[in-house]
Structure 1
Amino acid sequence: MMKLTREEKLMLDGKFGKSVKKAIEILIALGKIYNAERMVRIGSAQISGISYKNIGDAGIEFLEEFLSDAKVRVKATINPCGMDTEKWKSLKISNKFAEKQFRIINLFKKIGVGIDCSCTPYLIGNKPGFNEHIAWSESSAIVYANSVLGARTNRESGISALAAAITGRTPMYGYHLDENRRANFLINVKCKLESISDFAALGYIVGNKIGNNIPYFRGIERVDGDKLKALGASMAASGAIALYHIENITPEAKIKNML
């Protein structure tokens, strides 16, 4: 049985409204699946799955009901949507599609979510600190936050990240725990990596080989943020990697043995 704080029990009892009650119910159910003992407070959320092409009318109906009296408790941003929000007419997006897409975006805006529609939230003001617990759902952003920034997030769904934004909490399991952040694959890099494409190629190969494990890279000496972003995004795309370490470079690998 998950331990809840007094405030979390009040959420579950509906004292903060229907949306908060539904959100905490979702997170409790998720926590039970992964045997989480408690919730942890988060600093931010990043929400995917907001394209009308993906969620359709059923998704709009769900969001309208779920968010009926919601307000986010933490900084929250959303992923790219299904169209360019400024040039959609010149791109020949239909009026019907645009109307539905803006309806979705406005639902998030109404509850206090930033609507920049970016898959790199750390570049637009949603940048977590080292060891900060967050709830993000964009795969390339997750691996960057965990690895390059040293923040802590699982691979959330759009709904679980939204529930976390509404409650300010997420279940304490997975990458939120020290014991689950150690690497289990050593990658010795013997070739010279120079361009962003080199790092992307390495990431694609590693992700394809090791799936959802945690690689520890040895032999990478000089790197910048864009190259780290390409490395992580490629691993997240070809595998399901949410965390990696580079010896003497990424923050956790600088301060302790992550192998």
Structure 2
Amino acid sequence: PYLSGNLPHFGDHIAWAESSAVCYANSVLGARTNREGGPSALAAALTGCTPAYGYHLDENRQPNITVEVWAHPRGTYQFGALGRALGEKLEALGKKAVPYMLGLENASLEELISFCASLATYGGVALFHIQGLTPEAAQVNPPYETVLIAQADLEAAAAALEDADPQEIDFVSLGCPHLSIKEIARIAELLVGKTVTKEFWITTARPTKQIADRMGYTAVIEAAGAKFAADTCCVVAPIQGRFAALATDSAKACYYAYSKNKFKTVLLPFDEVVKVSCE
């Protein structure tokens, strides 16, 4: 929603469902929301009210663990691997974590979106702070308890999501979470004059898709043989049995591809995913 016009301001009280959007709103925007289900989010929309508890309250937005990122993640797929690595470490500690993170102050919009999606999926995290980047980080102090994330943790997390051989890949998907217009432009650039040889789904918000239509990106992408789907995502599609193995840049998509549809997966850099679709 934050890429398509529903952009809360710092300190706004909202009631959002969908775990990655909740994590992004709380952490990157500094809005305040709990991790709502569909019925409670709908009830809040109808009444204009939501219960004052959880992450709406100052005391629950304080960090309770410091995370030092010694690795150097780059791109959406590595930030997804980071989310998995950290999420699993936090889950092992058995606490409802609000991490204070060091070493990620140069993360891009797309990298943060990928990180939020993965961290929420693998660690149940709904709020984090990044020193020098997120809006509440300067208002809180890093806790004494510390977790380290090294390059080896990133590599192990990515490797754990790669159980398909290249020749098994018959499904390619980008857009979990939804793609930005910058990412769609990159796909169009990579597909000019190419022909897609595998099922290739691109998912985004409807307003973003309409921008892509006007800018000519949709025509290029569809001419190559890829398919758009707006306001949905491959992880909620009932496609078990249709495909054997998924290539994606999304650690979250890998999680649900197996748990919901029993697909094998390969986690790849964004450009490599597009390249695989044409092989």
Query: Paired residue for 1:247?
Result: 131
Shift of 1:254: 3.2
Distance 1:257 1:248 in 2: 12
With normalisation by structure 2, the TM-score equals 0.48
Query: What amino acid is aligned across from residue 190 of structure 1 in structure 2?
Result: W
Shift of 1:256: 4.0
Distance 1:130 1:258 in 2: 21
Query: Paired residue for 1:145?
Result: 25
Distance 1:244 1:257 in 2: 12
Query: What amino acid is aligned across from residue 203 of structure 1 in structure 2?
Result: G
Query: Paired residue for 1:219?
Result: 103
Distance 2:28 2:101 in 1: 13
Answering whether residue 5 of structure 2 is matched by residue 125 of structure 1, we say: yes
Which of 190, 197, 200 pairs up with 2:80? 200
Which of 67, 86, 89 pairs up with 1:209? 89
Shift of 1:205: 1.1
Deviations 1:114-157 (A, max 9, x none): xxxxxxx1111111000100000110100000000000000111
Q: Is the 8 A contact 1:245 1:258 kept in 2?
A: no
Task: Tell me which stretches of 4 or more aligned residues in structure 1 moved more than 2 Å.
Answer: 254-259
Shift of 1:258: 5.8
SS of residue paired to 2:50 = strand
Deviations 1:76-113 (A, max 9, x none): xxxxxxxxxxxxxxxxxxxxxxxxxxxxxxxxxxxxxx
Shift of 1:178: 0.4
SS of residue paired to 1:186 = strand
Q: Is the 8 A contact 1:181 1:258 kept in 2?
A: no
Distance 2:73 2:119 in 1: 16
Distance 1:193 1:207 in 2: 15
With normalisation by structure 1, the TM-score equals 0.52
Query: Paired residue for 1:169?
Result: 49
Distance 1:135 1:258 in 2: 27
Identical pairs, percent: 53
Shift of 1:198: 1.6
Distance 1:197 1:254 in 2: 28
Query: Paired residue for 1:232?
Result: 116
Distance 2:55 2:61 in 1: 6
SS of residue paired to 2:5 = coil
Shift of 1:239: 1.8
CA RMSD of aligned residues (A): 1.3
Shift of 1:191: 1.6
Q: Which runs of 5+ in 2 are unaligned?
A: 144-279
